[in-house]
Amino acid sequence: MSAYNFAYLDEQTKRMIRRAILKGLAIPGYQVPFASREMPMPYGWGTGGVQVSAAVLTPEDTFKVIDQGSDDTTNAVSIRTFFERTAGVETTTTTSDASVIQTRHRIPEEPLQEGQILVYQVPIPEPLRFLEPRESETRKMHSLEEYGLMHVKLYEDISCHGHIATAYAYPVKVEGRYVMDPSPIPKFDNPKLGDMAAIQLFGAGREQRIYALPPYTEVVSLDFEDHPFEASKAEHACSLCGAEDSYLDEVIIDDAGGRMFVCSDSDYCESRQAAGHKGKDAA
Amino acid sequence: MTPLLSVRGITKRYGAHIGCADVSFDLYPGEVMGIVGESGSGKSTLLNCMVGHLTPDAGEVVFDTRANGPQDTVTMSEPERRMLSRTDWAFVHQHARDGLRMGVSAGGNVGERLMAVGERHYGDIRDKASDWLQRVEIDAARVDDRPTTFSGGMQQRLQIARNLVTGPRLVFMDEPTGGLDVSVQARLLDLLRGLVRDMGLSAIIVTHDLAVVRLLADRLMVMKLGRVVEAGLTDQVLDDPQHAYSQLLVSSVLQV
């Protein structure tokens, strides 16, 4: 496709985004404002992630997109095709083969390596948003490190539900400084955020914010002393590959209460099945 | 004795118009000071200058901090001032809705200041919140209810509990009984008087209600058009007002 510049965005825009990414990497967890562009897809479909991916992609990269862990859902397929057409990069569904992975709502099960980049799509980058609606005030709270309010949310969870019921977008503290929204990943994935070998970049298109975690960053999930953080998942094994350590999707299979639990990470599940692992419902 | 709060020459102008001009006074530990005057006399401007919600054009507000002794809070850095405002200071708004988080339970409202100063034990926070609800005469069983389900008087008492939970030394109150009916007012005043005496609090109460200062305040300042026209002991000012404006204020109170 010669009608587009490499990876759709023009070079000046990519430079602007790269500057924001570098600033974000220099201040882990800090939300860097950037001039988000209109993308040929609606807000909420990953416009922030797509812009970050476009800025970091090189012609030699291998690109993978997952949506809720899966390579074959609408969002993943359309973004993968988008970069196949506008950048001509190779694409893959295999986690270990990819050099750039754009994700919505999951971190791959397979541990990422140095040299890989994980790009998150972020709907609402501000963890304090639903407690304090004023942007001027939340910025001040970040700059003065006033994070008591975040615990008020967790307090409310316990007082309503008896335990911390926040199951996704669970707030974390980065390097003992900034409180960060890890995008709506399940809290099962939170422990993987910290000390990761890969670079993690977060892009919020509508809210015009980029933030980042450099490799091997300390990331701590917030909690109370008497209600410690717990990474939760469904108490089952995958019905297809038998994995007991992966995050599971519940799939309703009939109208009589029948259901099955399968790995949300499709690549992980398929590679396990190929290696001969079998779950109870495996064909 | 070092004054807890020492205000010197506070002036705030809104363009050519004077908010308050050249106000000076000392407040000693355990003392309750009333500021009275009609609407537009500069009471609230003065209060907001003292707590840092407004920056005064001139003057200083020296507070005797626990750690470093007397410090000018006007020139103090913002993090320090905000730290003061959630530890040693408390601010009771006229409308409870301005001072409470209406979407958060009563316990969460009271616990917020504790969590803001680093308390991280859920059980302890909840116990302290329940204890404070009882101290302001709210049933501890309502700890998980939202303030929207509370009556006006209960909301105001909840706001007071939320402010006093970290054991402040100085409480600023802006018309604490405004908008409440008289029997609820009486109960709130009774409660406030008890808390002020028990905890040895110092307080600055801004009000236009002379009955409130008669009950609570040791000393009184009367303001008119941004200036202090008379100051003295409460009984002295109310029973024997010297300035024409104070005389007018006192004689304007309706008798039942």
Mean pLDDT of A216-237: 94
Reported as a single tens digit per residue, the pLDDT across B22-70 is: 999 999 998 999 999 888 899 989 999 999 899 999 999 999 988 888 9
**pLDDT under 70 in chain B at which residues?**
none
- Is A160 labeled as catalytic in the residue annotation? no
Q: Does B116 touch chain A (CB under 8 A)?
A: yes
Reported as a single tens digit per residue, the pLDDT across A175-187 is: 999 999 999 999 9
> Residue B114's closest chain A neighbor by CA?
A148
Neighbouring residues of B150: CB distance < 8 A, sequence distance ≥ 6: B106, B138, B142, B158
Reported as a single tens digit per residue, the pLDDT across B142-155 is: 999 999 999 998 99
- The pLDDT value recorded for residue A144 is 92
Q: Does B122 touch chain A (CB under 8 A)?
A: yes
Q: Do A149 and B82 touch (CB under 8 A)?
A: no
Mean pLDDT of A194-206: 97
Among the partner-chain residues B105, B115, B120, the one whose CB lies closest to the CB of A225 is B120
A112/B179: higher pLDDT: A112
Reported as a single tens digit per residue, the pLDDT across A43-91 is: 989 999 999 999 999 999 999 999 999 999 999 999 999 999 999 999 9
Query: Which 130-159 residues of chain A touch chain B by CB within 8 A?
Result: 131, 144, 146, 148-149, 151-152, 155-156, 158-159
Q: Of these residues, A29, A46, A205, A279, which one is catalytic?
A: A29
**Neighboring chain B residues of A152 at a CB cutoff of 8 Å:** 101, 104, 108, 111-112, 115
Reported as a single tens digit per residue, the pLDDT across A16-49 is: 999 999 999 999 999 999 999 999 999 989 999 9
**Neighboring chain B residues of A225 at a CB cutoff of 8 Å:** 120-122
- The pLDDT value recorded for residue B114 is 94
- The pLDDT value recorded for residue A136 is 93
- Is A241 labeled as catalytic in the residue annotation? yes
A10/A283: higher pLDDT: A10
**Neighboring chain A residues of B115 at a CB cutoff of 8 Å:** 148-149, 151-152, 155
Q: Does B147 touch chain A (CB under 8 A)?
A: no
Does the pLDDT of residue A1 top 60, yes or no? no
Kindly state the percentage of chain B with pLDDT values over 70. Answer: 100
- The pLDDT value recorded for residue A2 is 64
Does the pLDDT of residue A210 top 80, yes or no? yes
Mean pLDDT of A138-166: 93
B210/A102: higher pLDDT: A102
- The pLDDT value recorded for residue A283 is 65
Average of per-residue pLDDT values in chain A? 94
Q: What single string gives the DSSP state of each residue in chain B? A: ---SEEEEEEEEEETTEEEEEEEEEEE-TT-EEEEE--TTSSHHHHHHHHHTSS--SEEEEEEEETTTEEEETTTS-HHHHHHHHHTTEEEE-SSHHHHS-TTS-HHHHHHHHHHHTT---HHHHHHHHHHHHHHTT--GGGTTS-GGGS-HHHHHHHHHHHHHTT--SEEEEESTTTTS-HHHHHHHHHHHHHHHHHHT-EEEEE-S-HHHHHHH-SEEEEEETTEEEEEEEHHHHHHS--SHHHHHHHHHSPP-
Does the pLDDT of residue A117 top 90, yes or no? yes
Q: What radius of gyration do chain A's Cα atoms show?
A: 19
* Sole residue written with tokens 């099962």: A188
What's the rounded Cα separation, in Å, for the pair A208 and A120? 14
- The pLDDT value recorded for residue B142 is 94
Distances (CA, A) of A269 to A220, A247, A248, B111: 28, 11, 10, 45
Mean pLDDT of A160-174: 94
